Structure formats: C-alpha cells, structure tokens
C-alpha cells in the first residue's frame, strides 16, 4: 500500500512538470559528449608527451595570468608600477585596480577562487530557480546545469589561469540581468564598470539609445569616467603619471600582440583581426599598422548593423548581437571572452522554453542555440595543425555565422501568451 501511494505521488509530481524542449536536450547531450572528448583528447596528448602543447586542452592550472603581477603590485602607488622589471599590467586602470584589490588580501589565488566560486555558484542557483519556475523538473535542472558547468571550456580556462575576464563576466552578466528587469541605471553601472576594466563592454551602453533611455546612458558614461579616474588616483602616485603609464602599457601590449603569428594565436584567438593577419601575411604586410583602419571598419559595421536593423529587433537579438560583437572585435580575444556569451545563450534558452509552452515555432532559434555548443567546447576539438585547421579560426567563423544569424532572424516572444501566464514573474 505504501509503495502504491509513493508511486501515485511520483506520478502526480511528474504530471506537474512540463517536458523539456528537445533543443535543450540535444544541447545537453552535445555538452556531455564534448566534455568526454575533451578529457579523452587531453589524456591522449598526455600519453603522447604533448602535455605542454600550445593547443593542449588540459593545462595552465597555475593562475599564471594573476600571479605574473606578484612583483609588480609591490610597486603600486609609485611610478615604477608602470615600468616594472617584471610584467607590466596591460589592463585599463579599473582592471589594474581590481587586481590590486585581489592582491590586497595577501593570498590573491584564494580570493580569486572565492569570488569565482561565489559567482558561479550563485549563477547556477539562480538559473535553477528560473528553470523550475518555468515548470521544468528540478531533478533534471540540476544535472543539466552541472553538465553545462563541467563542459564550459571558457570557464575552465579562465579560472585556473586567474584571468581578469572573470570580473568582466560578472559585471557584464549582472548588467544583462538588471537590464532585462528594467533596472536601466543599475545595468548601466555594471556595464560601465566592465568597460572601465577592459573597454570593449562599453558597447552595451548603445542598448539604451533605441529606447531613448538617455539618463541610463549618461549614468554609464559618468560611472566609466569616475571609475577610471578613481583607479588612476589609487594606482598613483599621481593621476597624470598613472594615466600616461596605463595608456602606454595598454596600447603597447596591443601593438606587440597585433603582430603575433603563432600556433597559440591561431588556436585560441577568435577575433576578426585574425582574418586581417592572414590577409596581411599573404600580402607581406605587418599587422600593427592595420589596427586603426580595422577599428574604424568595425565601428562603421556595427553602427550600420545596429542602427539600421538590430535596434528594431527583439531584445534577445540586441543582446546577442552586442555580445557577439564584443568578443569578435578586439584584436586579442581568447577563449576566456566566450564566457560572456552565456548571458545571450540563456536568454535564447528561456525563450525556447516559452515557445515550447506556447507550442510556437520561432524560426532560427533552435539553430542559434545549438551553434553555441562548439563555442563553449574546447578549441582542441577543432585544432589539427597538421591539416591547417585551428580552433580560433573555426570559432571565429562560427561566431560570425551567429552574428549574421542574430541580424537575420528576429527572436520575438511567442504568441499566444496564454500558455505562459503561470510563469513566475521572477523567472528569466
């Protein structure tokens, strides 16, 4: 009798939950397969003695991007900080000040890991709540999200290397979350802090212009300037010295790296600038002088695309296109930056759930969701130098396809909306 009652309870519970959209089950299976393949490739390379290969998937668990500045931050508040005997900090002022905050606690790796675990754990918890709020089974939501985390190569390369992109992702994703809930000023603050850390996220502020949210736009500009000036004052010894030193280090680093032509660049750099490099080498030209016309062409392209078409499209398209442009434009844009694509991917994911609930088909949506799968997977799966196939180039092509996809297909809210009235208001 007790077993019959238990079975009846389980059947009633199962009836309460809605079936998962097939596209998410496909993505889940693909993520699990990519994870297994990545581990297998890493093991085979290790067995073959290639563990230090520039395109090996499982290495760099040494927080090198963080710890390389250990001696440099001993010189903070002095002019020598900008011309150290070791590595100069090649981040904009707020980015350097953020690393200074991490170093201030004496054990930068421990603080960095704590921030990463809190941010990732909080994100998974919030996403699980949102998935359950949509009527999907919590027993399925948990393993689904755990699989995504385990198979998330951008995070597995970002965190063990101690890369500053962690903080950029936190601010950018928080800005998207706030923006979707109508907290424009708060979203502007988050995006401005991200921009003050690495410049390129400033592109998110353009989202306020089509909606005529000029106050939020100006709040973002003011916070960007304020965070930059405050960081310069912190880095010292004076704002003028810090400004000159920071600019010199940032653009000096960009200039040096613009001419890089290595297996590592081809494998892990998914920037559009890689195409410029390839073209430049074919023509016998240096890449560095091409950066200014490259930025100009990029700005004109985005202005034409966004203000000509994307500004009139649904918010899912706008955030997707802006996010993709942010990771495609910088001449140096490695695997870490792809972490910023999880926000638009989850927007599309929840849109697919709403469409399934409403029994509505949104053209191009499922393909867009699945195109993110190889971007979140290890670039080693797409790198075969013997055959002139490189992960960075492959991912750049995929990112470009997604960029065009987001411009072409409008991902509008499904109708009829009656099927989603039961969704909680705090769900994404």
pTM above 0.75, yes or no: yes
Torsion of CA 74, 77, 79, 83, to 10 degrees: 40
- Report whether 91 contacts 166 (CB < 8 A): no
| Rounded CA separation 93/365 (Å) | 39
Q: Read out DSSP for 368-395?
A: HHHHTHHHHS-GGGG-BGGGTB-HHHHH
DSSP labels, 127-150: HHHHHHHTT--HHHHHHHHHHHHH
Q: What pLDDT, on a 0 to 100 scale, did the predictor assign at position 313? A: 96
pLDDT tens digit at each of 428 positions of the chain: 445 444 444 444 445 678 899 999 999 999 999 999 888 877 776 676 655 444 455 555 678 889 999 899 999 999 999 999 888 898 999 999 999 999 998 889 999 999 999 999 999 999 999 999 998 988 899 999 999 999 999 998 899 889 999 999 999 999 999 999 999 999 999 999 999 999 999 999 999 999 999 999 999 999 999 999 999 999 989 999 999 999 888 887 776 777 777 777 888 889 999 888 888 777 877 777 888 899 999 999 999 999 999 999 999 999 999 999 999 999 889 888 999 999 999 999 999 999 998 889 999 999 999 999 999 998 878 877 777 888 888 999 999 999 999 999 999 988 754 344 434 434 44
Cα gap 131→138, rounded to integer Å: 8
Q: Nearest 5°: phi and psi at 131? A: -65, -45
Q: What is the pLDDT of residue 423?
A: 43
CB distance 76 to 100 below 8 Å = yes
C-alpha 60/C-alpha 156 separation (Å) is 10
**Residue 168 and residue 311: Cα distance in Å, rounded?**
24
> Is cis: bond before 418, omega within 30 of 0?
no
For the record, the structure tokens of 37 come out as 């393949």
């Amino acid at each position: 009798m007790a077993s019959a009652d238990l079975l009846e309870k389980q059947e009633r519970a199962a009836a309460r939950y809605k079936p998962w959209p097939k596209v998410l089950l496909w993505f889940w299976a693909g993520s699990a397969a990519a994870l297994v393949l990545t581990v297998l490739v890493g093991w085979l390379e290790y067995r073959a003695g290639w563990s230090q290969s520039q395109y090996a998937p499982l290495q760099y668990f040494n927080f090198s991007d963080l710890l390389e500045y250990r001696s440099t931050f001993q010189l903070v508040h002095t002019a020598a900080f900008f011309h150290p005997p070791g590595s100069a900090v090649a981040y904009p002022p707020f980015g350097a000040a953020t690393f200074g905050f991490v170093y201030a606690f004496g054990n930068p790796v421990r603080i960095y890991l704590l921030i990463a675990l809190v941010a990732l754990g909080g994100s998974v918890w919030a996403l699980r709540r949102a998935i359950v709020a949509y009527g999907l089974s919590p027993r399925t939501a948990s393993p689904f999200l755990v699989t995504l985390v385990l198979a998330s190569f951008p995070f597995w390369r970002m965190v063990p290397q101690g890369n500053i992109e962690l903080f950029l992702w936190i601010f950018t994703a928080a800005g998207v979350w706030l923006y979707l809930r109508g907290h424009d000023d708060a979203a502007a603050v988050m995006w401005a802090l991200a921009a003050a850390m690495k410049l390129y996220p400033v592109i998110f502020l353009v989202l306020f212009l089509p909606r005529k949210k000029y106050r939020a736009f100006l709040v973002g500009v003011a916070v960007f300037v304020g965070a930059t000036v405050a960081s310069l004052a912190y880095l010292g010894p004076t704002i003028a010295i810090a400004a000159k030193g920071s600019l010199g280090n940032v653009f000096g680093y960009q200039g040096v790296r613009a001419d890089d032509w290595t297996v590592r660049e081809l494998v892990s750099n998914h920037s559009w600038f890689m195409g410029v490099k390839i073209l430049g080498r074919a023509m016998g030209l240096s890449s560095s002088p091409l950066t200014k016309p490259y930025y100009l062409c990029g700005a004109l392209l985005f202005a034409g695309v966004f203000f000509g078409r994307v500004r009139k499209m649904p918010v899912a398209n706008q955030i997707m296109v802006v996010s993709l442009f942010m990771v495609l434009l910088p001449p140096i844009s490695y695997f870490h930056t792809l972490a910023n694509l999880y926000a638009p991917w989850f927007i599309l994911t929840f849109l697919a759930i709403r469409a399934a609930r409403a029994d509505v088909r949104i053209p191009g949506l499922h393909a867009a969701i699945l195109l993110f799968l190889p971007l979140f997977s290890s670039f080693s799966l797409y790198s075969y130098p013997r055959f002139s196939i490189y992960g960075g180039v492959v991912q750049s092509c995929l990112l470009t396809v997604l960029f065009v996809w987001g411009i072409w297909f409008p991902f509008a809210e499904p109708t009829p909306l009656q099927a989603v009235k039961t969704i909680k208001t705090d769900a994404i």
